[in-house]
Structure 1
Amino acid sequence: MKTPASRALAITQALDRLAREERGRLLSALIARLQDFQLAEDALQDAMESAVTHWGRSGIPSSPLGWLLRVAYRKALDRIRSRRTADRAGDSLLVLAGGEAYEAETDEIPDERLRLVFTCCHPALEQKSQVALTLRVVAGLSTAQIARAFLDQETTMGQRLSRAKAKIAAARIRYAVPEPAEWPERLAAVLAVIYLVFNAGYSAGPQAGSDLAQEALYLCALLDRLRPGEAEIEGCLALLLISHARRAARTDVGGQTIPLGRQQRALWKRDEIAAGVAVLERALARRTLGPYQLKAAIAACHSEGAQSDWAQIALLYDRLLVHEPTPVVRLNRAVAHAEAGALDAALAELEDLAPGLQDYQPFFAAQAELLVRKGLHARARAAYERALALAPSEADAAWLASRMRDIPGP
């Protein structure tokens, strides 16, 4: 028989798992009915809090997803009734008509996440807000995580998210997958969302982030099925497949991050790499080159042979810079050219980039590595110290610390 302490622990673990793995699915189902982002988030949080009490008395239900969804509907109805402005409540109550009759405890919750992604990526919102909002409500990233992805302050990102939700409500943006004619203006933002969700999973580490990486792969594959023949969707899917194939080699037995160039290639999933390359070849055959196809080609140049083809990778970054003239692409391009033999030119490029990347940890890690090769050990040590201060995880910090210890002494 379980003790009260063990029951409480089991409930906490169950809710943590649901919040981590099923939040996007629950929230998208709620928003589909409520048509209100903030109300859905508040109602789901209320239901999670109620679960602590009710499950403590009665045990975890046989269908926790169905229980949370049903209770969240009721909590939303309670919130609507408590609003002081009758007109606002009236519209919302119409949306919830019949909601009280939803009593079945079932895990068969319709998957509304793709509709939710397209709602977040409506052209009425600027792209940065589109991506940030989708990461928050679909993937369940925290405001702090999203702020780090954009190199923003957390308070600034919180304000951006609030404004985006308010704009969707004010503009009465329709909750639906757009018609084919509307796809082009939404597609860039949707792919950016998927790519950032995947990268957020990688940043969290192979265990904590595997759910996010799988979520991104799922959404991209779903998008590919819904819109077959779209070269950039195929390019994004290829990029994710090839990158994910290297997951087992990304950390050592102690959990320390291992950069791509030092990974054990025998641990890479060759069948997954081949599948990604096949998707990439299908995309390139359409002769409508875009940034995701170029990124996938770069990933393939790292992954297909016994070593990375740096000369080809540098040329691909030259092309990518035309499509995405950003500081991060310039940084990656400089590293590629350094690996291809142009060390001095790469260091000069990094000097130009420094003012705009003072809070970007990969910049200082790359700069330190190139300074070591140049023999500028004191400057390299300072760059590693800055990279350590900005390291997003203990695994990354462990790798950086080991590299700094390898710098020859004065």
Structure 2
Amino acid sequence: MTDPAQLRGLIPGVLGILCRRGADFAAAEDAVQDALVEALRVWPADPPRDPKAWLVTVAWRRFLDAARADAARRRREDLADGEPPPGPAASTDDTLRLYFLCAHPSLTPASAVALTLRAVGGLTTRQIAAAYLVPEATMAQRISRAKRTVTGGRLDRPGDVGTVLRTLYLVFNEGYSGDVDLAAEAIRLTRQLGSAIDHPEVAGLLALMLLHHARRGARWAADGSLVTLAEQDRGRWDTALIAEGVAVLQAALARDRLGEFQAQAAIAALHADAPTAAETDWVQIVEWYDELSALTGGSPVVRLNRAVAVGEADGPRAGLAALAALDGSLPRYAAVAAYLHERDGDRERAVARYAEAARKATNPAERDHLTRQAARLNQELRA
């Protein structure tokens, strides 16, 4: 096994074994990372018969070496009764416990994401730093603080699956940067989580990721500019991913335990099912937004997106009426207002709103798109 993704899939089990043997989380995670680097160096020429057992043995040696070298941690040697015995590694699956530990509620979302990518995903600090466009030293400090926070946390303590899922969704939404495809990595980790826990919301999140990921190839024009959903070439959508996402979603919905990720996936599935933007079932999408709003306690972001759907289903003035009930300082509020005013024929107000939205946009691609929309309408007004 020399494929990095397959190799990283073994890490939660190896890390769990070291923690059960007495290693604290931070030291165990460092040792597992060292073993991972050694595996990538050695295995291509000399692959082991039992990859997991090999990683356990090497990681445990590294942990013992580090414990002996650190006088402040010499007491940990009392926990060490020699190397793991030869033969297959223990089959206990600690994946779920590690997900919960890395998404500890005392961690900030950014720290939980970084720790999950490092400890469960097996990415190096350099890879995570490159993906988040921050210096490696900054990311190392963030991960170190996160490990200190969770060190001592018991692996048999129940956790909040919702926190884990939100952490994975944050990873997915980072998309692609540097040499790590975080969207693909989030899908891999969610699949792994699904094999460790039977929960419909895990399936809902996986379906949502697959359906969004299926549109990835159509989101950008050749010049790097953003292509909106309505303008995308649907022939470039990945039909295999869509089919898988729909199947996963249907199985989750059949369990009649609706959650917010399932509702979001249902909305994405309706978009994927429409042959053209004009054939989108906006009435049903509004109904799903109503379900999602109830599930999220009337989330302002959900209600903002619902206003767009209402504008498509019942006309732009109905959408503007729904929008009027929301706080104008919400992210993307001005962009939604611009779109609805343009559809209502009020181009002057739409131009002003597009310009305002462009000024507030934090994403360069979105800012460029909104600026082009304002320029287009300005040109039309002057014609």
Shared fold per TM-score greater than 0.5: yes
Percent of aligned positions with the same letter in both sequences? Answer: 36
8 Å CA contact retained: 1:217, 1:241: no
8 Å CA contact retained: 1:338, 1:345: no
**Aligned partner of 2:230 among 223, 246, 261:** 261
Partner deviation per Cα, 1:158-202 (whole Å, 9 max, x = no partner): 76x6665334323x412x6x7xxx5xx5322233233333323x3
The CA RMSD over aligned residues, in Å, is 4.7
Query: Shift in Å at residue 121 of structure 1?
Result: 4.5
Alignment partners' CA distance in 1, 2:37 and 2:262? 44
SS in 1 for 2:67: helix
Alignment of 1:189-338 (within 5 A): 189-200=163-174, 202=175, 204=177, 208-223=181-196, 226-227=197-198, 230-306=199-275, 307-324=279-296, 325-338=298-311
What code does the residue aligned with 1:330 have?
Answer: R
Q: Which runs of 5 or more structure 1 residues have no equivalent in the other structure?
A: 1-16, 149-153
Alignment partners' CA distance in 2, 1:76 and 1:156? 23
8 Å CA contact retained: 1:234, 1:280: yes
Partner deviation per Cα, 1:347-377 (whole Å, 9 max, x = no partner): 4255x151x64xxxx5565455445544221
What code does the residue aligned with 1:77 have?
Answer: L
Alignment partners' CA distance in 2, 1:147 and 1:212? 17
SS in 1 for 2:76: helix
**Aligned partner of 1:173 among 143, 149, 154:** 154
8 Å CA contact retained: 1:231, 1:286: yes
CA gap of 1:110–1:348, structure 2 versus 1, over 3 A, is: same
1:188 aligns with 2:162: yes
Query: Shift in Å at residue 320 of structure 1?
Result: 0.8
What code does the residue aligned with 1:259 have?
Answer: T
What code does the residue aligned with 1:188 have?
Answer: G
**Aligned partner of 2:319 among 340, 343, 352:** 343
Q: Where does residue 406 of structure 1 map in the other structure? A: 376
CA gap of 1:31–1:147, structure 2 versus 1, over 3 A, is: farther
Q: Which runs of 5 or more structure 2 residues have no equivalent in the other structure?
A: none
Q: Which moved more, 1:24-33 or 1:309-318?
A: 24-33
SS in 2 for 1:297: helix
What code does the residue aligned with 1:258 have?
Answer: V
CA gap of 1:110–1:290, structure 2 versus 1, over 3 A, is: closer
8 Å CA contact retained: 1:25, 1:138: no
Q: Considering fraction of residues, name the structure with more helix.
A: 1
Q: Where does residue 384 of structure 1 map in the other structure? A: 358
Query: Shift in Å at residue 383 of structure 1?
Result: 1.6
Q: Where does residue 66 of structure 2 map in the other structure? A: 79
Q: Where does residue 29 of structure 1 map in the other structure? A: 14
8 Å CA contact retained: 2:11, 2:119: no
8 Å CA contact retained: 1:21, 1:211: no
Alignment partners' CA distance in 2, 1:194 and 1:30? 19
Q: In the comparison of the two structures, how many residue pairs are matched? A: 353
Query: Shift in Å at residue 147 of structure 1?
Result: 11
Alignment partners' CA distance in 2, 1:158 and 1:364? 37
CA gap of 1:44–1:245, structure 2 versus 1, over 3 A, is: same
Q: Give me the TM-score of the superposition, normalised by structure 1.
A: 0.66
SS in 1 for 2:154: coil
What code does the residue aligned with 2:378 have?
Answer: P
8 Å CA contact retained: 1:206, 1:247: no
SS in 1 for 2:160: helix
Q: Where does residue 83 of structure 2 map in the other structure? A: 98
Q: Which moved more, 1:34-43 or 1:256-265?
A: 34-43
